[in-house]
Amino acid sequence: MARLSRRIEGIHTSPIRRVAALLDEARERVDIISFGGGAPSLPPPQGFLHEFSRLLEAEALRTVAYTGTRGIPALREAISADLKKYGRVDFDPASEIIVTTGATESISSSLMCLIDPGDEVIITDPTYLGYKEMIELAQGRAKTISVDVENGYQPSDEQLKKAVSKKTKAMVLLSPDNPTGRIINESFVRTLVDLAKDFDFWIISDEAYKHIVYEGEHVWVSRLRGAKEHTITVCSFSKEAGIPGLRLGYTLAPKRVIESIEKMQQYSTLAPNSIGQFALVRFLNQNMKEQYVRESVMKYIKRRDFMGEMLRSHLPLARTITPAGAYYYFVDIRQYLTKLHQTEEEFSQNLLRSTSVAVIPGRFFGENGRGHIRMTFVTEPERRIRLGIERMEQFLGRSS
């Protein structure tokens, strides 16, 4: 068979997607308690769903026609108004907003537009596992800042200053963070903005979880003084509208960057999904979002607190922080693993096999994730969270 590119040989299959495939398989055989996923558990509002049917009935041809690469003007206007309302940030719908095929495309096309071979991009370790591969696909090099449970997964100003150099092209910052649930300290972001100005690099602020906040406040990076023209903001409708499968998100950036991203996306996906865009106009303009977000956060915070309690009482040697946002506990289980003589990856596999409880090995999120597991608290109801953690406790007792 003819050769493939070196580019693709160096890239790894996303372990989360691999686990998802395993889970799909396992689910057909047994009832899995899943602490593994990353999707909302509240279905989208009825009125929003009804809008899809209405559109297809009222104007089928237009609803399924190509839209512009930037997305339909009405949606960009609705996004602009939404950003003003929730974040008091001002983005021009005509020139500073582009709709994307999910936050994944937002990040990957942003990186493709910024990075030349050898450019460095700073990320925390651990953080979202796709960044590193995306940076490498764009021929950049990921430079990591270690964060750990002791400092609440906050990177420090000193670490950042040490990481920045003339080679720095960007920092990708995710807040609220996946997998740690950490909301970034605003003071860190101020230092970041100052350095971005001094060294002339970009901040890619991934705000996919901006509305999934339980404590403190989301940091709207672009709102900080001097930040806007150094910042590319990545947003997603997956979490705030409950439609991860529809693959819709958006990117906010200075005019010239949006123009470049538009060029890139013309040749990668051509345009975002049409029907989802039309329906989202109603979702945003009729203010269905406010209720959906409020109900989601109310439901999730209960599950978060419950899982926290269960972890403390059943797995007392585990260490974690109470996540201020997002969907996950990132749990340091090294004290258990040492006794078991297992890596967290072996542990996760054995746990799934023996007890049908799914968790994600921490190594997937970076070197510093070793000895940790990611546990989603939004998917399962309290009863099954209890059951799952009891099974983990028994498994650990049995094995040690």
Nearer to a second copy, 119 or 125 (CB): 119
Nearer to a second copy, 259 or 390 (CB): 259
The residue within the footprint of a second copy, chosen from 30, 31, 267, 397 (CB under 8 A), is: 267
**Residue 11 touching a second copy (CB under 8 A):** yes
Which of 148, 205, 222 lies closest to 171 in space, CA to CA?
Answer: 205
**Residue 276 touching a second copy (CB under 8 A):** yes
**Residue 20 touching a second copy (CB under 8 A):** yes
The residue within the footprint of a second copy, chosen from 128, 202, 209, 364 (CB under 8 A), is: 202
- Please give the Cα distance from 174 to 171 (Å, whole number): 10
The residue within the footprint of a second copy, chosen from 47, 52, 297, 309 (CB under 8 A), is: 52
- Please give the Cα distance from 153 to 362 (Å, whole number): 14
User: For a second copy, which stretch binds (CB under 8 A), given 90-98, 129-137, 287-295, 382-390?
Assistant: 129-137
At 211, the amino acid letter reads: H
Give the count of alpha carbons within 13 A of 84, CB side only.
11
Q: Counting Cβ atoms within 10 Å, is residue 238 exposed (0-12), middle (13-18) or buried (19+)?
A: buried
**Residue 273 touching a second copy (CB under 8 A):** yes
Residues 6+ apart with CB under 8 A from 376: 34, 35, 36, 37, 38, 327, 328
**Residue 383 touching a second copy (CB under 8 A):** no
Identify residues 137-196 at the interface with a second copy (CB under 8 A): 137-138, 169, 196
Nearer to a second copy, 99 or 315 (CB): 99
- Please give the Cα distance from 127 to 144 (Å, whole number): 10
User: For a second copy, which stretch binds (CB under 8 A), given 77-85, 98-106, 180-188, 338-346?
Assistant: 98-106
Considering the complex, what minimum distance in angstroms separates the CB of residue 87 from a second copy? 22
- Please give the Cα distance from 242 to 74 (Å, whole number): 20
**Residue 44 touching a second copy (CB under 8 A):** yes
The residue within the footprint of a second copy, chosen from 146, 156, 191, 260 (CB under 8 A), is: 260
Q: Among the residues of the chain, which ranges form H helices?
A: 6-9, 15-29, 46-58, 60-63, 73-87, 102-114, 130-137, 157-163, 186-199, 237-240, 255-266, 274-285, 288-314, 334-340, 344-355, 382-399
The 57-86 site mask, x for binding a second copy (CB under 8 A), equals x--xx-xxxxxxx-----------------
**Residue 47 touching a second copy (CB under 8 A):** no
